[in-house]
Amino acid sequence: MKFGIALALLAVGARAAEPPTFSDIAPIILDKCAPCHHSGGPAPFSLITYADVHRRAVQVAAATKSGFMPPWLPEKGLGDFQDDRRLTAAQVSTISEWARAGAPEGPAGIAPPSFGTNWQLGQPDLVLETRNPVDLPASGRDVYWNLIFTPNLPARRWVRAIEIRPGLPRVVHHANVLVDRAGSARLREFKPGRGFAGMDLEIGRSPFDPEGNFLFWKPGSVPHVEPDGFAWHLDPGNDLVLNLHLQPSGKPEQVRPSIGLYFTDQPQKSFPLLVQLENDQALDIPAGVRDFPVSDDFKLPMDADILAIYPHAHSLGKLLEAYATLPDGSKKWLIRIPNWDPNWQAVYDYRTPVTLPKDSVIHMRYHYDNSAANVRNPNQPPKEVHAGNQATDEMAHLWLQVLPRAPGDHRRELEEALLHHRLEKNPNDAVAHMNLGAILLSRLDPQAAVSQLRTAARLDPQRPEVHNMLGLALATLNRNADAIPQFELALRERPGYASARFNLAAAQAKTGKIDAAIQNLENILTANPDDPYAKRRLAELLAAHPDKVNPSAPKP
């Protein structure tokens, strides 16, 4: 009897010692590797079937054991993020044991997911296709290209998710979508529909409608669905600009991206702001320096939640850190990347928002390695490197999605603090002066707004938005005669600037120049017959001045 028990125990021990089979590791591979490693995906080979993985068993085991794959840059325990792609020690061990045992197949495993042409979130409510592909040369430097998509919506829609399909994932390093409400990107196209070059893209926008959502794609990423109340809006006439980072593949390629939009009836009730810390002006990295630090610090003017974080540097970046010092002196980590690799940059969403009290100081601490020992250094031998948009230049950017904790929309107060911080570092930043002036005007301080906007106009006299806002500030002070030349300067730089023409007409009417005001309003309606503001204001002027009515003119 005891002998039988001993045999049974030996049998159990033998079964426990049996190596894992593909059915044991398939769930790991399909969850962590297959989103990139599938046919048509961004990775160079597929890891979907047993045959795929068996063929590369030793390579997969080595890459996972070293931590090289799956790619995940943040240090464990210093920021808790969604979609963490790291493998556990047990998962790494299982893959290694399977490879050492000869990669046995075992019983049938789980059915592999489909990575075909289907949209990840299902059929979008609206699909936007590019009018013209991007021609990518076979070799040479990385290409940074921007394509403009126009949704042509008849009314405002709330967007709960956006899915970027890069067209040819294996040549697209990453992509961002920016919302252009002012049509500023179109001014940069040499030929409509062809797009334009540029890496660190700046979109003209109102400071009263700042960016609040990361619209980002990278290989293997899952589209982010906004929670109820966080949807962002698209209005008629708005454009979407797709900012692409493309890498030559060794042969000429044509890239045809598309964008899927998913709408909701739930309007926005929570108002996050994308907050940027940066210190590009400090990037003057001598050749051969192994540790060049760059920093920036921003004090929060209110209680806030940090929802997501996006660190950004180029090839010389080595150690990237972000943390907060709370008012009580304690330290709270936001992210730490000990071995930066720009090939795997990403937006990281926190599992639970990081709550920071008012007067917490957010710190950006980046370290750069411009020595020959840095295997990612694009210059061998090393050269002096400055800030810039090329891959051989450098950047020091930290983006945070910040949600003020008080009810309502408090982006304006947060952005005002950011603009003051920006001007402390760079007093000659014309855009910061312009945006601060606009915010001061909205906070009923037109005199202070005029001061900021005059500085912006002096620093950048060819920017039409500056002259338009300065004219508005002067008009608010009832200085309409002074405002008129500012609106005219804006129209000289951009003749189709409808807002500046409408403001010019209003100032002309107040100074008794009724004929000129009517002419400018009619010009607006010639270009856009449905402009409600111009129609209403023209009707009011004609009603107040019936002698100015032109019987042959169309009725407003």
**Which DSSP category does 548 fall into?**
G
CA 253 to chain centre: 25
| pLDDT above 60 (res 4) | no
Mean pLDDT, residues 300-329? 97
**Which DSSP category does 546 fall into?**
G
Taking phi over 0 as left and psi of -120 to 50 as alpha, with beta for the rest, 444 belongs to left
- In this prediction, residue 175 has a pLDDT band, given cuts at 50, 70 and 90, of very high
pLDDT, one tens digit per residue, over 79-100 is 999 988 889 999 999 999 998 9
pLDDT value for 389: 76
pLDDT value for 182: 80
pLDDT value for 192: 86
What architecture is domain 427-548?
Alpha Horseshoe (1.25)
> Which range among 69-78, 91-100, 191-200, 501-510 shows the weakest confidence by mean pLDDT?
191-200
pLDDT value for 9: 42
Average pLDDT, the chain: 90
| pLDDT above 70 (res 34) | yes
pLDDT value for 12: 46
Fold of 273-407: Jelly Rolls (2.60.120)
pLDDT, one tens digit per residue, over 402-439 is 999 999 999 999 999 999 999 999 999 999 999 999 99
This prediction has a pTM of: 0.86
pLDDT, one tens digit per residue, over 47-68 is 888 889 999 989 998 999 988 8
| pLDDT above 50 (res 10) | no
pLDDT value for 550: 60
Residue from 174, 212, 214 nearest 345 by CA: 174
pLDDT value for 510: 94
| pLDDT above 70 (res 270) | yes
**φ, ψ of residue 211 in degrees (nearest 5):** -70, 140
Return the SS3 of 245: strand
| pLDDT above 50 (res 356) | yes
| pLDDT above 50 (res 41) | yes
pLDDT value for 395: 93
Q: What DSSP assignment string belongs to 448-485?
A: HHHHHHHHHHHH-TT-HHHHHHHHHHHHHTT-HHHHHH
User: What residues does each domain of the chain span?
Assistant: 2-100, 126-264, 273-407, 427-548
Using a pLDDT cut of 70, give the percent of the chain over it: 93
- Kind and range of the H or E element at 28? helix 22-32
pLDDT, one tens digit per residue, over 187-245 is 888 888 899 988 767 776 666 678 899 999 988 788 999 999 999 999 998 999 999 99
Domains 126-264 and 273-407 share a fold: yes
pLDDT, one tens digit per residue, over 145-172 is 999 999 999 999 999 999 999 888 889 9
Cβ-defined contacts of 334-337 (< 8 Å, 24+): 334/79, 334/306, 334/309, 334/362, 334/400, 335/74, 335/78, 335/79, 335/309, 335/311, 336/74, 336/75, 336/78, 336/79, 337/73, 337/74, 337/75, 337/311
CATH number, span 126-264 = 2.60.120.230
